[in-house]
Amino acid sequence: MTTLLEVRSLKKHFGGLRAVNDVSFTIAEGEILGLIGPNGAGKTTLFNLISGVLRPDHGSLFFAGEDVTAWSPDKIARRGLARTHQIVKPLNDLSVLDNVTVGACFGRENLPLRDARNVAREVLDFVGMADRAGVPAHSLTIAGKKRLEVARALAARPRLILLDEVLSGLNPTEVARLIGLVRSLPQRGIAVFLIEHVMQAIMHLSHRIMVLNFGQKIAEGPPEEVARHPQVVEAYLGDPNIAEKLTGSG
């Protein structure tokens, strides 16, 4: 498979804290890569580095064959990388449709308003929110705001989407709905990099799993393999028999 994102020896320190410490990995086109680790492991910091919100202290980022290490978030978004946020950030006073239109206007295709609104309607239909298009974003439930975050990112027509805990705080029905949506994204030409604490979901969704602990990558590989990795069990999972429970493998 063709490499879409390549991360080389990325480091980010905040004073004496090594938030991301010499992390390297790749994501291929059409791949779903899961990212797990304890709270404070550096997962969201890594997302911020990839999306241009933070500049690395060391290392480099290549997206779609270009060195984007020093690029601003808006330039990276126009190249085809979109993200959601762990704490949802809707434009509360705008309608659901207008929120998603903003994503289309400032995404990869740089669409004019009329075309952006058409894309927004298509995306809302795809995520199951067409009937909520006219309501103000602040009136949505947490589950609705999570889907709105995903919709706004998808309206940017990304080649890679970063999903930061989109399943947290949802009930089982809402989790199942979003899992189905995420699983379908590679078929639409979108690679996925997701942070998630809903372990059974991320294990079944991801083609590969990467694990961070204290800013360092301690494991990477197929879900079944990672769930059995001694360092991962010790640092995060806790249960040495968890692999069978999470992946259904014996």
Report yes or no on 190 lying in a domain: yes
pLDDT by 10s per residue, the chain, length 250: 799 999 999 999 999 999 999 999 999 999 999 999 999 999 999 999 999 999 999 999 999 999 999 999 999 999 999 999 988 889 999 999 999 999 999 999 888 999 999 999 999 999 999 999 999 999 999 999 999 999 999 999 999 999 999 998 888 998 999 999 999 999 999 999 999 988 888 998 999 999 999 999 999 999 999 988 888 888 887 766 665 666 555 4
Please tell me whether residues 52 and 166 are part of one structural domain. Answer: yes
Report yes or no on 85 lying in a domain: no
Domain-terminating residue out of 113, 128, 157: 157
* Max Cα distance, the chain (Å): 54
Strand partners, 41: none
Please tell me whether residues 102 and 131 are part of one structural domain. Answer: yes
Task: Give dist(CA 11, CA 9) in Å, integer.
Answer: 6
Please tell me whether residues 70 and 27 are part of one structural domain. Answer: yes
H helices of 91-164, in order, are 96-105, 113-126, 142-154
What is the pairing mode between strands 66-67 and 17-28? unpaired
Report yes or no on 86 lying in a domain: no
Q: How many CB atoms lie within 10 A of CB 93?
A: 9
**What is the structure's pLDDT at 27?**
98
**CATH code (residue 182):** 3.40.50.300
Domain-terminating residue out of 126, 157, 188: 157
Report yes or no on 53 lying in a domain: yes
Q: How many CB atoms lie within 10 A of CB 9?
A: 12
Instruction: Say if CB 198 and CB 169 are below 8 A apart.
Output: no
Kindly compute the dihedral angle of the four CA atoms of residues 167, 101, 44, 219, in this order, to the nearest 10 degrees: 70
Strand partners, 58: 11
Q: Which domain, by its residues, includes 216? A: 3-80+161-247
DSSP helix/strand/coil, 17:
strand
Please tell me whether residues 105 and 119 are part of one structural domain. Answer: yes
Please tell me whether residues 238 and 170 are part of one structural domain. Answer: yes
Domain-terminating residue out of 132, 157, 182: 157
Report the domain count for the chain. 2
Sheet containing strand 208-213, strands side by side: 81-83, 160-164, 191-195, 32-36, 208-213, 216-221
Instruction: For Cα atoms 71, 155, 140, give the angle at the middle one, nearest 5 degrees.
Output: 115
